[in-house]
Amino acid sequence: MASPPTRTARQIRTDFLEFFRDRAGHEIVPSSPVVPHDDPTLLFTNAGMNQFKDVFLGTGSRPWVRAVDTQKCIRAGGKHNDLDDVGRDTWHHTFFEMLGNWSFGDYFKAEAITWAWQLLTEVWGLPKERLHVTVFAGDEADGLGPDEEAEQLWAQCTDIDPTHITRWGRKDNFWEMGASGPCGPCSEIHFDSTPDCSGAPLVNADHPDVIEIWNLVFMQFDRRSDGTLVELPARHVDTGMGLERIVRVCQGVRSNYATDLWAPLFNSIQSCTGAPAYTDDDSNPVDVAYRVVADHVRCLTVSLADGARPGPDGRGYVLRRILRRGVRMARQSLGATDPLLCRLVPTVVEELGDVFEALRSDPDLIASIIEDEERAFLRTLDRGLLLFDEAAQRGGNSISGEDAFTLHDTWGFPIDLTEQMALERGIQVDKADYEARMDAARALSRAGGGADAAATLPPDAIAGLEALGAKPTDDAAKFHDKPVALARIVGLWDGTQLVDQLHGACEGIVILDRTTFYGEQGGQIGDTGRLITEAEGATHGGATFQVTDTQRAGDWVLHIGRVSEGDLRRGDHVTTRVNVARRSQIEANHTATHVLNHALRAHLGTEADQRGSLVADDRLRFDVSTRTAPDTETIAAIEQHVSDMIAGNLSVQARECPLEVAQRMTGVRAVFGERYPDPVRVVSIGPSIDELMNQPEGDWGDASIEFCGGTHLQTTGGIEDFVLTQEQGLAAGIRRVVAVTGERARSLRASGETLLQQVEQAMAADDASLEAHVESIARDHVELELGLVHRRRVDEALDTLRDRVKKVRKAASGESKAAAIDAARLLAEAGGDLIVGEVPAGDKDALLAAMDTVKGNCPEAACLLASRDDASVLIVARVPDAGIKAGLKAGDWVREVAKACGGGGGGRPDMAQAGGKNPDALPEALEKATTFAKEKLG
C-alpha cells in the first residue's frame, strides 16, 4: 500500500486540535483528569465525553458550544477493559489519548461528516479508496429506521466510494450513554491497510488490517427509563478518535507500536535491560513484553499524576494488577532483575508532559510510588513463578483453584496474571473454585480475621438455607431506630453444619427472617445484643442468645454468639434486642466519619479520596489518599472544621435515590470502583434529600453527601465532640487518621488544654524555676492521653523549652566555671605540695577547670578539690609522679573522701573522680582527705 506523508505523533495531535480551532471555531479545552473525581462510580475516565456528561444530560452548560480536545483515557476495569488484550495484539492499550470534537446543540451531521472527511483526506492525505464508513441500519424494537440522513450526507458531502458506505445494526452503530439518557446513531470510519485494498469484508470484523479510526456520534434521542425514545430538544455531536490508531495509519505502518509514539519508551527499555531490540512481532515474547511494559508504565504514570494510588481494592487494585503484570513481563521476558517501570517514568513525562501538565508536577513521587510497588512484588515474584511451574506440572491441563488462590493470597499474583500465564502455556485455570475460595476468605476477613468456623457460613450452608425455603434477611429495620423487633429463626449453624437446635452454652450463628441488628458492612462493625424467646412464645421454654457480633453472608444477616440460657430451635420466634448504647456510639462515629471526609477534602484538596475506613464503637479510622503528610496546623484546621459542623447541629438525612440522579448530585462522595445498587442510599449532612432530588446540580459545596448503607445520628450535634488521635503513613500516597468522639474526645481535649496551660506557665517562668517546669510537663506528657493536635503542640513547645534549658545551663555553667577558677587560684596562691579545698563549681566541667588552674600554678602539688549542691557532692583529685612514688594514689584518695560523703568512685593513680550523696558531710570529708594524703606522703 502507498504510504501517506509521514507526520510525527505530536504533529498529528496538533493538526487535529488546530483544524477544529481554526476552521470551525472550536474551543481547545484541557483534558479532564483520568481519575473521574466527579463520578464516584467510574474507575477511570474512559471516553472523551465523560467531562461533558452534564451537558448531554441537560444539567449543565459551557461558555462555548463547540469544543475540541485530547482526552486522557484508561480502559482497564469495569465494562470497558482492554487489559487482557494489551501486548497480544497491535491496537489495544490500557492508556490512550482520545481526540474529539464536540457540538452542544450547534452543528450536526453535515458539518461533522464534512470536516472529518476534509481532515482525513486533505490535511492528512489518507487514500480515499482505503476509507470505509458505517451508518445505523435501524432497529425495529425501537421503531427506528435506518440513518438515511447520514448515509446521504456521506454520499453528497464527500467523494467517498458509495460502495464503502454500509449499514450496521444497533450493536455497532447506535451509541448509548447507559440504560437511560442521551443516545443516537453513530457513523464509524474504518481504514483498510490490506496490501491489495481488499478489506471491505473485514469492516467490524475486529481484524488488525481493517480498524476503526473515528466514531461520529449523533445524539438526537433521549432514552426514557421505560425504554422508549423521544427526540432531544437539542442535538449534539460527540466524536472520538484514538490518537494511537490514527498515528499508525498516518505513518503507514500496520501496528500501533511501530510508530514514534512508542520508540522513545522502547529505547529506554532496551537501555535499562539490554534486551534485544523491538521487532514488532506478535509471536515474539520479548516484543509482547516491550508492549506490555511500555503501555503499562504510561497508564501508571498518568493515573498516579492525577491522584490515583495502587491499593488492595477498587481503582487501586486495578493499578496494582497492571503494575504486577508489567513487572512479571519485565522479569521473565526482558531479564530485568531490579525495578524497571520506575526508571521509565522520566521518558513518559518527557513524551507527554507538554500535553498533560499534571505529569510534570511531581515525577519523582510517581517514580517512588512505582518503585516501592515493584520492590514489594519482586520479593515474592521468583518464588511465585516457581510455584506456578509446579502447579502447572501437577495439574496437567489446568491450574487448580487452590493453587490459583495460593498464588494470589500468599505471593501477590492477581488472578488475571495467573490466567495470562496459563494462557501462554495453553492451559486453563479453575476460576470457579478460585472464586469460591476468595468468597470464603472475604467472609473470614469480614468476621474479624481470627474468627473460627462458627463466625461464617460456607457456600453449601447458604444453599442449605435456600433448600429450607429461607429467604434473605429483611434488615430494613436497622435504619428505623427500633432496637427491638419480633422475628423468626430460619436457620441455626453450630460451626460445622446447619442444625435444628442450639443447646445451652453452644456457640453458633442464628439466621432470622428479619432483624434490627446491623451486619458489618462498608467499614461499620456489626451490632451486639440479645435474642430472646419467651416461654409462652416457644414450644420448649424461654432461651437467650448473646450476640457478640453481626456479620453478613450475601443477603443473610448472621447473628454470631452463644446460647446463654435455654435452647434455641429453628422456627422459634425471638425478640431482637440491640445494645442501644453501643449502637449510639457507632452511629456517632459513623456520622463523624462523613464529616471528617468532608473536612479532609476541604483542607487536603480534591485528591483526598477515601481509601478505607473503620467505624467502631470506641473509635473511627479513615484512610485517605494524599501526597504529603499534613502538618500540625492542617490537622488542627481539619479538627476545627469537624467541630464547627458538630456545633452547627446539622441535619443528617438518608434515603434511597435513583442511581442516575444520585450520581449527578454536586460533590457526592463514594468509594471509587465500588458497585452501587440502583436505587442507592444517599446520606446527606446539611441539605435535605428532597432538596438534593429537586436540584442535584445545585451549589452543595458546603454539604457532605455520600453513598452509604450505614446507620447514622439524626443531627451532627449528637457527635458531641471530636478529637484526632493518630496520623500516620500507611503506604505510598496513603495516610491514615484515627479519631474519637463524645466523652472520650472531651476528656482528651481537657487533658490537652491543661497541659498547654502548663506550657504557657513554663514559657513565662524565670530561669531558676524553668527546669522544674519542663520536667513536670515532660512527665505529664508521658502519663496523660492527648489528642494529636495537643500532643504535637506540646512536643513542639517542649523542644523550645528544652533548648532554653540548655542555654540557661550553659550560662550557669560559665558563671560557675569562673567562680570555681577564682577559688582555685586562691588555693594555688597559698602554695605548698598539698592542696585540698572546696570550690563553688556548679558541675563537673567547672570542677575540672578549677583543677586545671591549680595544676597550671602548682604542677608538683597533689590536689583534691570538691564542690556540692543541695543533693550531691563532686570530687576530683590529681597526684604528680613524685606523690605517686611516695604512696599517694588519686583513685584511693577520692574513694576515701567519697565514702565519708556517702558515695564512691575511683580512677587512675594520677587522676580520679568520685561523688557523694551527703553534701553536709563534705567539710569533715575534706579534713579526712588532708589526713589521708599526709600519711601517704610522710
> pLDDT of 849-869, one tens digit each?
899 999 888 998 999 999 998
Q: What is the pLDDT of residue 10?
A: 96
**3 state SS of 338:** coil
Among the residue ranges 110-119, 217-226, 291-300, the one predicted with the least confidence is 217-226
| pLDDT for the residue 457 | 75
- pLDDT tens digit string along 22-44? 988 999 999 999 987 656 556 88
Residue 535 DSSP symbol: G
Q: Which residues pair with 229 in a beta bridge?
A: 223
At residue 206's C-alpha, the angle toward residues 204 and 212, to 5°, is: 60
Which of 120-129, 266-275, 494-503 comes out lowest in average pLDDT?
494-503
Res. 695 pLDDT band, cuts 50 70 90: confident
What is the structure's pLDDT at 128? 97
Mean pLDDT of 431-435: 87
Using pLDDT thresholds of 50, 70 and 90, give the confidence band for residue 2.
Answer: very low
| 79 or 687, greater pLDDT | 687
pLDDT tens for each residue of 395-406 = 778 888 888 888
CB neighbours of residue 657 within 10 Å: 21
Question: Does residue 574 have a pLDDT over 90?
Answer: yes
Q: What is the pLDDT of residue 671?
A: 62
Digit-coded pLDDT (tens) for 578-593: 999 999 999 999 999 9
Res 443: pLDDT: 63
Inter-CA distances, 727 with 258, 621, 624, 634, Å: 48, 10, 11, 12
At 906, give phi and psi (nearest 5°). Answer: 165, -165
Other C-beta atoms lying within 10 Å of the C-beta of residue 224 = 11
- Per-residue pLDDT, averaged over 905-933, amounts to 92
- Mean pLDDT computed over 406-416: 81
Query: Range with the lowest mean pLDDT among 505-509, 744-748, 799-803, 814-818?
Result: 814-818
pLDDT at 754 over 80: yes
Quote the crossing angle between the two packed helices 314-333 and 415-425, to the nearest 10°.
30
The predicted pLDDT at position 145 comes to 94
Take residue 239 and report the three cell numbers written for it: 466524536
How would you label 782-811 residue by residue, b for 16+ Cβ within 10 Å and e otherwise? eebebbbbbbbbbeebbeebeebbeeebee
Predicted confidence at residue 770, as pLDDT, reads 84
Average pLDDT over residues 898-913: 91
Express each pLDDT in 347-358 by its tens digit. Answer: 999 999 999 999
Mean pLDDT across 765-777: 85
**Nearest CA among 292, 528, 517 for reference residue 416:** 292
Identity of the highest mean pLDDT range in 390-404, 506-520, 816-830 = 506-520
In angstroms, the first-to-last Cα distance of the chain is 119
Examine the pLDDT at 518 and tell me if it is beyond 50.
yes
pLDDT digits (tens, 9 = 90+) for 599-651: 999 999 877 888 889 999 999 999 998 878 899 999 999 999 999 999 999 99
Task: Give residue 535's pLDDT.
Answer: 52
Q: What confidence score (pLDDT) does residue 846 get?
A: 87
For 113-143, the pLDDT digits (tens) are 999 999 999 999 999 999 999 999 999 989 9
Q: What one-letter code names the amino acid at 210? A: V
Which of helix, strand or coil describes residue 66?
strand
92 confidence band (pLDDT: 50, 70, 90): confident
Say which residues have a Cβ less than 8 Å from residue 423's Cβ, sequence separation at least 6: none
pLDDT at residue 77 in the model: 63
831-846 mean pLDDT = 86
Please say whether the beta carbons of 818 and 668 come within 8 A.
no
For the segment 192-200, the average pLDDT, to the nearest whole number, is: 94
SS3 354: coil
pLDDT in tens, 474-498: 999 999 877 788 999 999 998 888 9
In degrees, rounded to 5, the angle at the alpha carbon of residue 514 between the alpha carbons of residues 510 and 518 is 75
CA distances from 890 to 76, 882, 910, 927 (A): 81, 12, 6, 16
Q: Average pLDDT of 204-214?
A: 93
Span 796-808, average pLDDT: 86
Mean pLDDT of 647-671: 85
When computed from its CA atoms, the radius of gyration of the chain, rounded to whole angstroms, is: 39
pTM of the predicted structure, to 2 decimals: 0.59
pLDDT at residue 664 tops 80: no
Query: Given a cut of 60, is residue 98 above it in pLDDT?
Result: yes
Asked if 404 and 418 touch (Cβ cutoff 8 Å), the reply is yes
Angle at 778 between CA 777 and CA 782, to 5 degrees: 115
Mean pLDDT of the chain: 88
pLDDT at 168: 96
The confidence score (pLDDT) of residue 286 equals 95
- Structure confidence at residue 307 as a pLDDT band (50, 70, 90): confident
Distance CA 936, CA 9 (A): 99
Q: Cis ω on the peptide bond leading into residue 679 (within 30° of 0)?
A: yes
What is the pLDDT, as a whole number, of residue 397?
Answer: 83
> How much is the pLDDT for 70?
96
Q: Rounded to 10 degrees, what is the CA torsion of 413, 414, 415, 421?
A: -50
**Confidence grade of residue 451 (pLDDT, cut at 50, 70, 90):** very low
Q: How far apart are CA 599 and CA 601, in angstroms?
A: 5
Q: What percent of the chain has pLDDT over 90?
A: 55
What SS3 state is found at 142?
coil
d(CA 738, CA 97): 40
Confidence at residue 781, expressed as pLDDT on a 0 to 100 scale: 81
What local confidence, expressed as pLDDT, does residue 414 receive? 79
